[in-house]
Amino acid sequence: MKEEINLDFDRDKRIGQPEIIYGESKSVEQLLEIALQLSEAGRNGLYTRVSEEKAAVVCNQFSDIEYNSVAKCLSQKSAPPFGERGEIALVCGGTSDIPILREAECTADFLGFDTKVYADVGVAGLDRLLKCLPDIRKAKVVIVFAGFEGALASVLAGQISVPIIGVPTSVGYGVAAGGMAALNAMLTSCSNGLLVTNIDNGCGAVMAAARICPLMTK
């Protein structure tokens, strides 16, 4: 099993952020070996898309690993956390988007960002979003999670000056097509400067934010 694992311990030196473990397709044995290697190296770890069944086995073996069942993330804390890196606003259209938002929240915490969550402020009731705008504008980067037609990302991109990343979610009926409608809507947004990740990629959105933030003076 050990020969199957080749962790990239130098990644944080190269690109300013450590390797994150994609857990969905990994076996329990592989996850345990990764956790052991991180522990022996005195490194923190984040594992995304981990099922409750796999997480239970890993947490039983390692006391420094915690599981977020909504985000489906394991967080391993074998070393001091990263230093403060600023605030990211996480904004979602509806409560169905929360699991992807929580994945992003776990990622942001792992990388040393503060987060503020603005949930259930979708375009069906824009007054809810407008009330939050003054606070959202204070963030270094804003990440928006939306399914159905994905309009929230375009609306918010037209109201703020900080970098904004749209995450289409696989939420919605019929032709929403598992997030494809939201993805296409965000990609064709008329709000210039909106960046877009793959469907349900909350982790990737925060990783992109982590690259953007060091370039900002705010």
Where are the domain boundaries for CATH 3.40.50.1970 in the chain? 87-215
What pLDDT score was predicted for residue 159? 94
Q: Tens digit of pLDDT for each residue in 125-139?
A: 889 999 999 999 999
What does the alpha-carbon distance between residue 63 and residue 76 come to, in Å, rounded to a whole number?
9
- List strands edge to edge, sheet with 141-146: 114-118, 87-92, 141-146, 164-168, 195-196
Q: Tens digit of pLDDT for each residue in 5-34?
A: 888 888 888 888 888 999 999 999 999 999
Q: Tens digit of pLDDT for each residue in 192-214?
A: 999 999 999 999 999 999 999 87
What average pLDDT does range 76-105 have in this prediction? 88
What pLDDT score was predicted for residue 13? 85
What pLDDT score was predicted for residue 218? 44
What pLDDT score was predicted for residue 81? 67
Return the CATH number of the domain spanning residue range 87-215: 3.40.50.1970
What pLDDT score was predicted for residue 9? 86
| 63 phi/psi in degrees, rounded to 5 | -75, -20
What pLDDT score was predicted for residue 217? 57
Residue 189 has pLDDT above 70, yes or no: yes
CB 72 within 8 A of CB 99: yes
Residue 215 has pLDDT above 50, yes or no: yes
Task: Provide the pLDDT confidence category of residue 104 given band limits of 50, 70 and 90.
Answer: very high
